[in-house]
Chains A and B, each alone.
Chain A
Amino acid sequence: MFSDLYYFPYLIITVCIYWLLPKQSLRTAFLTLSSYGFIWYFDPKAVYVVLALTVFTYLIASWMKKSRQTGLIHKIGIIGLLLVLILFKYLGFLAGIINSLLSFFHSLPVFNIEELFLPLGISYLIFKYVSYLTDIHWKVVTKGKFLDFACYGSLFTIFMAGPIERFERLKPQLENGTAKFKREYLDFAFGRIAFGLFRKLVLADWIGYFINPVWHHPDHYSAIFRVVAFFCYSFQIYFDFAGYSDIAIGSSRLFGLKIMENFDNPYQATNISQFWRRWHISLSDWIRDYLFFPMSQNRTSKLWLTFFVPVIAMGLCGLWHDAAWQYVLWGAWHGLGISLLQYWHKYSKRNKITIPVIISQAATFFFVTLGWAIFKNGTGLLSAMVSIKGAIFCLIAWLLYCLVMKVQIPLYFKQRRLITSIVLLMGAIVLFCGANTGFIYGKF
């Protein structure tokens, strides 16, 4: 979306008109209409789905407010939203599972289901609306005005691939919008968008340009190339998605909106639980709040709490990405990591074991990188990296990352924001050169 030629002209025109309007309600209405226009440009059919889901969710919220049976109505709303997601995204996947089971009994017929089209941004939208209804049920937020809610659902800067913002945070910003455009919005947005474009167009796309052939045909390359490609994918997906989030957050700021951060140096995490507090933060918060906590409440079984809950919750998190087993396995891999970490915490506490931070960070990076092989369905490269060379390259790659991301860029960014932004932007434009491969997370 952000790499589309029309995105930035559309953003600039929308921002100009937005700030020319005299009242916040008019601005919100205009931003909502602009967002629907943007969705229509990319996927005309999705507009009907987004509109229908918005009306449905708001009606459920209004019904919850009037009725005493909020628990039951909340369940109806959640089931309705999940059924829509299943209908559009998982019907073919479920039919495949049922057919595999039926194949054991030769006399039974096989399902032939035509998959429906996948509306743009449906996974993100459903998660936002589930959080909206659940937060109302938990009395964390009130339902708000329909216009604010419609704007929250369709906001084009974060519509396609998040961050999965909460209505609780966006509602006060839409209700009490600032009267005038502030210079700081432009400063922040310019720096952030430039940084995002650099991360996406220069770092992610060029890494992708070199490693994609190795991932597609691992047999054509020597072990060292496979090891390099294996580890470089960790950086490609990070720069790609973090770059996307930078542009989304920067673009939203031009409308005076503060969107939650989605990344915080994830490869510096000292354990897998901390990794999920730093990687795709809006998704991991969602999983924690609306899956992990409800699944754990009122349960006392240690095995359920420390093993099944993390594996099932993270497996579903994987399935959310796309309807394929590789994503379920990737999620379960991380769930297993979280589960083992809890056992490790108890064991290390009992035996008073402490591990140096650098070892914990490198081990976490290694674990996450192994997970990306499952995510990308590239197990062909696994054999190459489970070796001494693989371990050495892991350490080098991780140290390089620390050097570049932790020390240099943030430091320059703080001290010379404008100059750094211009340099990054120029670099992005000059090095663009057709290596653009689209956003990895855009397809989910």
Chain B
Amino acid sequence: MEEKLIAFITHEFLSDDNVEITEDTKLISSGLIDSFSLVSLQTFINKEFGKRIPAPKITAESFDTIRQMIKIIEQF
């Protein structure tokens, strides 16, 4: 799950493919991922893992790092 999320985020959102992200890199609060673009991340999670994460859970507080994302995905 972690590898798939990192690969998707790097390809879809990061302007520089050489930037490395870890499971604790802050993605939303640091501005790496634009909040209006998060819908494609939600769609990816739905298609790839079969989980629909409610929009209010996809916030800078609870969905900011890969580690937090995995925790939320596992809850639903």
Which residues of chain A have a CB within 8 Å of any CB of chain B?
Answer: 131, 135, 138-140, 166, 168, 270-271, 273-274, 276-277, 285, 288-290, 292-294, 296-298, 305, 310, 338, 341-342, 345, 348-349, 352, 354
Chain B nearest CB from A173 CB (Å) reads 16
Supposing A289-B55, A290-B55 touch, asked if A305 and B36 sit within 8 A by C-beta, the answer is: no
Q: Are A349 and B15 also in contact (CB < 8 A) when A140-B57, A338-B36 are?
A: yes
Chain B residues with a Cβ under 8 A of chain A: 14-16, 31, 34-40, 42-43, 46, 54-60
Q: Which residues of A contact B39 (CB under 8 A)?
A: 292-293, 296-297, 305
* Closest chain B CB from A163 CB (angstroms): 15
Contact A288 B54 (CB under 8 A): no
The verdict on A274 contacting B43 (CB below 8 Å), with A289-B55, A349-B15 known, is no
Complex CA–CA separation, A257 to B51 (angstroms): 33
B56 contact from A289, A292, A348, Cβ within 8 A: A289
Question: Does A293 contact B55, Cβ atoms closer than 8 Å?
Answer: yes
- Inter-chain contacts of B59 with A (CB < 8 A): 285
Instruction: Tell me if B's interface is mostly helix, strand, loop or mixed.
Output: helix
The contact of A135 among B15, B43, B56, B60, by CB within 8 Å, is B56
In the complex, 27 of the A-B residue pairs with CB atoms within 8 angstroms, ordered by the A residue number, are: A135-B56, A138-B55, A139-B54, A140-B54, A140-B56, A168-B56, A270-B31, A276-B35, A277-B60, A285-B59, A289-B55, A292-B36, A292-B39, A292-B55, A293-B39, A293-B42, A293-B55, A294-B55, A296-B39, A297-B39, A298-B43, A310-B36, A342-B36, A345-B15, A352-B15, A352-B16, A354-B15
Instruction: Select the residue from A293, A338, A352 with max chain B CB neighbours within 10 A.
Output: A293
Residues of B within 8 A of A140 (CB): 54, 56-57
Question: What CA separation (Å) do A138 and B14 show in the bound complex?
Answer: 30
Known: A288-B55, A293-B42. 13 other contacts (CB 8 A): A138-B54, A140-B56, A276-B35, A276-B36, A277-B35, A277-B60, A289-B56, A290-B55, A292-B55, A305-B39, A338-B36, A342-B37, A348-B15
Complex: chain A residue closest to B37, CB-CB: A342
3 closest Cβ pairs, A-B complex: A138-B54, A289-B55, A293-B55
> Given the complex of chains A and B, what is the CA–CA distance between A270 and B42 in angstroms?
24
CB distance from A281 to the nearest CB of B (A): 10
Once the chains bind, are B36 and A273 in contact (CB under 8 Å)?
yes
Identity of the chain A residue whose Cβ is nearest the Cβ of B13 in the assembled complex: A345
A297 & B15 in contact (Cβ 8 Å cutoff): no
Measured CB to CB, the nearest residue on chain A to B54 is A138
Q: A270-B31, A297-B43, A349-B15 are in contact. Are A135 and B54 (CB under 8 A)?
A: yes
Are A274 and B31 in touch, CB under 8 angstroms? yes
Distance in angstroms between the alpha carbons of A187 and B14 in the assembled complex? 42
Q: Quick one: closest A residue to B14, CB to CB?
A: A349
Smallest distance from the beta carbon of A343 to chain B beta carbons, Å?
12
Quote the shortest CB–CB distance from A174 to chain B (angstroms): 18
CA distance A352 to B17 in the complex (A): 10
Of B35, B46, B55, the contact of A273 (CB 8 Å cutoff)? B35
Complex: A166 Cα to B54 Cα, angstroms: 14
A296 CB contacts on chain B under 8 angstroms: 39, 43
User: Which residues of chain B are near A305, meaning CB under 8 Å?
Assistant: 39-40
Query: Shortest beta-carbon distance, B18 to chain A, in Å?
Result: 11
